[in-house]
Amino acid sequence: MQRLQDRVTVITGAGSGIGLATARRFAEEGARVVCVDLDEETGRAAAAEVGGLFVRADVTDEDDVARVFATAFDTYGSVDVAFNNAGISPPDDDSILETGIDAWRRVQEVNLTSVYLCCKHVIPYMRRQGKGSIVNTASFVAVMGSATSQISYTASKGGVLAMSRELGVQFAREGIRVNALCPGPVNTPLLRELFAKDPERAQRRLVHVPLGRFAEASEIAAAVAFLASDDASFITGSEFLVDGGISGA
């Protein structure tokens, strides 16, 4: 029996980066994976690769999010794990003096409101089951300041962390664990795109990683699999840092 055998797992942003690596890891560990993405091509390819179900959805749209969890439940009969992970990178200049209100709002919508919507729509299923595990993707920037000045991004991830703590505490007695995953810099299209625009930024970031490199997405996926599994049965409301030592330095 594998650790995540038959666990019905919804992964948002499954078409790329951390979400894709997590879909692969969960499939390897026996889970039934529901891949959710806005991008039809990559999301469908991910689902095909892991033998899962694809649901195209915009995680900022409440009807779409409700449909995602209803589809997972109707297809497999339960929703055991939600990995609320879809997100976008900060605008080009995300300092408080430069970020416009529209860019600010967009980042909050995709990175924070989406997590609110996913939690809101998955918790009723988990409540009825009397169990479930939710992992929300925050970032190391949620727990410390960032010299790269990312105000809208950092604020959105701080919100994800606070919401995860709150829900972890609120629903603990109902068997639902909620944790915030806080990755350091991870070698994914999101990061590569950011650093392609500003190569010096990559060097500045790297200097601050005690392990001396960026994470591979598979290393983040390993942490998600742990948090979602019964191996993490006493972990809830936590900020789970997978950051190569940045926050400890």
Question: Is residue 90 involved in binding ligand NAD (CB under 6 A)?
Answer: no
| Active-site residue identified among 76, 116, 125, 153 | 153
Q: Which is nearer to ligand NAD, 78 or 187 (CB)?
A: 187
Secondary structure of the chain in HEC code, one letter for each residue:
CCCCCCCEEEEECCCCHHHHHHHHHHHHCCCEEEEEECCHHHHHHHHHHHCCEEEECCCCCHHHHHHHHHHHHHHHCCCCEEEECCCCCCCCCCCCCCCCHHHHHHHHHHHHHHHHHHHHHHHHHHHHHCCEEEEEECCHHHCCCCCCCCHHHHHHHHHHHHHHHHHHHHCHHHCEEEEEEEECCECCHHHHHHHHHCHHHHHHHHHCCCCCCCECHHHHHHHHHHHHCHHHCCCCCCEEEECCCHHHC
- In this chain, which stretch among 118-126, 168-176, 178-186, 229-237 interacts with ligand NAD, using CB under 6 A? 178-186
Minimum distance between the CB of residue 190 and ligand NAD, rounded to whole angstroms?
3
The yes-or-no answer on residue 76 being catalytic is no
Q: Which is nearer to ligand NAD, 113 or 133 (CB)?
A: 113
Question: Is residue 60 involved in binding ligand NAD (CB under 6 A)?
Answer: yes
Question: Is residue 62 involved in binding ligand NAD (CB under 6 A)?
Answer: no
Stretch 130-169 residues interacting with ligand NAD (CB under 6 A)? 137, 139
| Residues labelled catalytic | 153
Give the interface with ligand NAD as residue ranges (CB under 6 A): 12-13, 15-19, 37-39, 42, 57-60, 85-88, 110-111, 137, 139, 183, 185-186, 188-191
